[in-house]
Structure 1
Amino acid sequence: MKELQSLLSSGKPLFITVDGFRQAMLTAFPLNGKTQDNPEVKAAFGMTKAEMIAYLDTHTWYQLESHIALLDILKTTNQENTAPVTLTDEFSDEQLPDNSIAYHRVFGIVMADSYYWFSSKQLQSDLLAAEANPQISCHFLHINSPGGEAWYLDRLSETLRSCEKPILTFYEQMCCSAGYYIGCHGQRIYAMTQNDYVGCIGTMCSFYDFEPYFAKLGIKKVEAKATNSDLKNKVFDDLRHGKDAKFVKEILDPMNVQFLDEVRSQRSKLADLPDDAPVLRGETFYTPQAVEIGLADGSRTMVEAISEASTMGREYTEAKKLETAIYNI
């Protein structure tokens, strides 16, 4: 929880929706004074307490939550009598069946490096492990995120772009801001329902100034800077006093250009839109509009999306085999 509190009080640029920011603030700084960082996990989902403890010896808390979610997905999909498909989060396991699918869960607030929350750095590591595993043929990005921390997404995007294996993005409820920064790298992007929303492509900074409150309590801030340190933290001090021009121009705008360039490079329909198109200015859309604009390619059930990812993986494997055969002639 301290990771989220530190991020929200830091003044760092965020790729996040307004609703997502409110949700994060209430989670990190609840009105009742009790944080929601509850280490009690649902053992009913298929893991005993001993199994969870053993799992956490080599995984993060978020990976444990994702693993439990994956077990639930597998339980549901197995009941559908679909063709056998191996969806896995053990990306380095070379004992997996051929054409296994790497399951990457991007849920909640995006953090660069976190134990309890989704981590961009961890996803990068997982992608590289899955790319190196010959038993895995496709990546499945499962997203439900309002966005979050902007830092490190450029490096994660480099890794996503470099993946040779196909990527299918499947989102439910929302795929916004930093969530879409990640999800846009899918060769195919599907919503779960007609009422999921996607977009909010933009950059913001938001934090609270507690100094007036402290002043009422009789707590006075004392600060001094060296003669030659007049610019130290000045851009943030100016921002706090309502002078945001330099912060916007030198910090938010360059990050936003990176974001827009990345999205446009991955989604051909967006590449041809003018700069003042609503989708490039932070607007959010439900599935029918998203498909029309080019943010998404349609809607699928979870089973349908997994089946399509399996097909993409098989096609990739067959193409690689053909390429190898031609090369060896």
Structure 2
Amino acid sequence: MSLRNTLASINSSKWAITQAHATDYLRVLDAALDSDQTDVSPKAAIASYENADAEKTEIAEYDDKIAIVRIEGAIMKSGWCNYGTEDYANYIENTFADDESIKGMLLIVDSGGGQVAGTQRLYKAIQNAQKPIIGLASSVAASAGYWIVAPTQKIFIESETDEVGSIGAFVSFSDYSEYFKEAGIKRHEIYARKSSNKNKEVREALKDNYTPMLDNVLDPLVDIFIKDIKTARPNISEEVFSGGIYIAERAIQVGLVDDIKSEKEAMEYLRSQINSNNSQPQQTQIYMSKLTIGANIMKKLGFGDATEKETSLEVNQSGLTKLDAALQELQEAEESNQKLTSEKSELSKKVKDLEAEKLVLEQKVTELKAKNEEYSKVAAASPAAPVSATQKTETADTTPKDDDIFAEFNAKVEADFGA
């Protein structure tokens, strides 16, 4: 990235950085501006100040099967003072993900923050990695520096005096209007009629009205920052979201980091995790299979789709035992559900059969009523010989009645379904 483009990026970007580090990095810019070159590597630009090498080091060192990635100094989207967040994200999403010989990563952050642009992409690359990544805060991991280390599986801090936090954002800029006035320079800004909101936040801030900058830029930015930290560290204290910075012991108490460990100790911890995963390949495969089975059971029971998601799992016997118990309960629930479904199907069939029979009986009743009406008309038209009471009773008893037909139907219902 050219020096000119770098300076333009620094001047126009939003930053998540501690004020102390922002001020300190001005010396780097001074050294670069003093250089006679127009397109220089960062270390060449400040070599006279720091006696640094002219070329960037490799993005990762390798200790056997572990990648060691160091993020130091001001964080930028495109590399200048160091590799940029784009470079690191590309490495994690490609080389780290595809090279089967690399089993894990130790991510060492020593940065007070930097440019917001590109930071969340690196956060998500770390968050979505399918290999273990352990974070180590060395000296300071603040603001964007902490944003980057947050999604690692464990965060260690290197010593009792090291600092983490500063979850927040701020903006600062200089008002040169008086300087220009004294120099006899009058600046004019003319906006198109349809561009009334262009640069509104800055223009209003120059009038000491900071509300648009807060409402439209800083507060929404911090909300995203906080959301990402809560996702990565769900048990973190709400206290940290006011932007404070914490040294080691207090950082552990508020949930910003997990423990104090040196680089060597952090590496040993990572190795133990890798060895543990390698020694239980069969268990991991069983665990994944059971997760898929469980998801399918949940789908059959109507609790959502059984969507397979790639995930990083820490497998142990205790976890498998708990999973077995949960799956047993799900299987029993599925069997019970199948039994109820079968019974429901049988009952539905019986109901349909009875409804068909009821229609037949209702048709018979209609026909009998029609015949009865016909008989009544014939009897009314033709005088009949007198009959005895006994004959009347016998005739009445042989005539089908509605009550008799429905009594027969009800008896059938009771036989099929019980009283």
- Report the TM range for the smaller structure's normalisation: 0.7 to 0.9
Task: Report the RMSD for the aligned CA atoms in angstroms.
Answer: 2.8
Counterpart amino acid of 1:291? I
| CA–CA separation in structure 2 for the residues paired with 1:9 and 1:118 | 19
| CA–CA separation in structure 2 for the residues paired with 1:41 and 1:324 | 52
Over 3 Å counting, the alpha-carbon distance change for 1:214 and 1:184 in structure 2 is same
| CA–CA separation in structure 1 for the residues paired with 2:165 and 2:103 | 28
Q: Where does 1:198-237 land on structure 2 (aligned, <5 Å)? A: 198-237=164-203
Instruction: Structure 2: state its 5+ residue gaps.
Output: 36-40, 48-52, 290-419
- Residue 327 of structure 1, CA deviation: 7.7
| CA displacement, residues 158-179 of structure 1 (integer Å, 9 cap, x when unaligned) | 2221111111111211000000
In structure 2, the residue matched to 1:265 is 231
Over 3 Å counting, the alpha-carbon distance change for 1:268 and 1:212 in structure 2 is same
Q: Where does 1:158-237 land on structure 2 (aligned, <5 Å)? A: 158-237=124-203
In structure 2, the residue matched to 1:107 is 72
Counterpart amino acid of 1:23? D
Does the 8 Å contact 1:146/1:175 carry over to 2? yes
- Residue 227 of structure 1, CA deviation: 2.2
| CA–CA separation in structure 2 for the residues paired with 1:178 and 1:123 | 14
In structure 2, the residue matched to 1:58 is none
1:6 and 2:8 matched: yes
Is the partner of 1:257 in helix, strand or coil?
helix
| CA–CA separation in structure 2 for the residues paired with 1:198 and 1:4 | 27
Greater relative contact order structure (CA < 8 Å, 6+ sep): 1
Q: Where does 1:1-329 land on structure 2 (aligned, <5 Å)? A: 1-10=3-12, 12-29=13-30, 34=34, 37-39=42-44, 61-64=55-58, 70=61, 86-87=62-63, 100-128=65-93, 129-270=95-236, 273-274=237-238, 277=239, 279-320=240-281, 322-324=283-285
| CA–CA separation in structure 1 for the residues paired with 2:165 and 2:287 | 42
Moved more, 169-178 or 206-215: 206-215
What is the aligned length?
A: 277
- Residue 324 of structure 1, CA deviation: 4.5
| CA–CA separation in structure 1 for the residues paired with 2:108 and 2:159 | 14
- Return the index of the structure with the highest Cα Rg: 2
| CA–CA separation in structure 2 for the residues paired with 1:284 and 1:327 | 40
| CA–CA separation in structure 1 for the residues paired with 2:160 and 2:6 | 31
| CA displacement, residues 224-248 of structure 1 (integer Å, 9 cap, x when unaligned) | 2222222222222112332111111
| CA displacement, residues 90-135 of structure 1 (integer Å, 9 cap, x when unaligned) | xxxxxxx6xx112211100110112443311111111112022111
User: Which has a greater percent of helix?
Assistant: 2
| CA–CA separation in structure 1 for the residues paired with 2:282 and 2:129 | 17
Does the 8 Å contact 1:3/1:114 carry over to 2? no
Structure 1's consecutive aligned runs of 4 or more residues displaced over 6 angstroms after TM superposition are: 325-328
Counterpart amino acid of 1:119? G
Instruction: Structure 1: state its 5+ residue gaps.
Output: 43-48, 53-60, 71-85, 88-96
In structure 2, the residue matched to 1:55 is none
User: Which has a greater percent of strand?
Assistant: 1
Does the 8 Å contact 1:14/1:150 carry over to 2? yes
| CA displacement, residues 10-58 of structure 1 (integer Å, 9 cap, x when unaligned) | 2x3211001111012232246x96369541899xxxxxx9xx8xxxxxx
Is the partner of 1:109 in helix, strand or coil?
coil
TM-score normalised by length of structure 2: 0.60
- Residue 321 of structure 1, CA deviation: 5.7
Does the 8 Å contact 2:156/2:258 carry over to 1? yes
Over 3 Å counting, the alpha-carbon distance change for 1:38 and 1:153 in structure 2 is closer
| CA–CA separation in structure 2 for the residues paired with 1:195 and 1:211 | 42
Counterpart amino acid of 2:127? R
Counterpart amino acid of 1:28? L
Does the 8 Å contact 2:43/2:81 carry over to 1? no
| CA–CA separation in structure 1 for the residues paired with 2:108 and 2:225 | 20
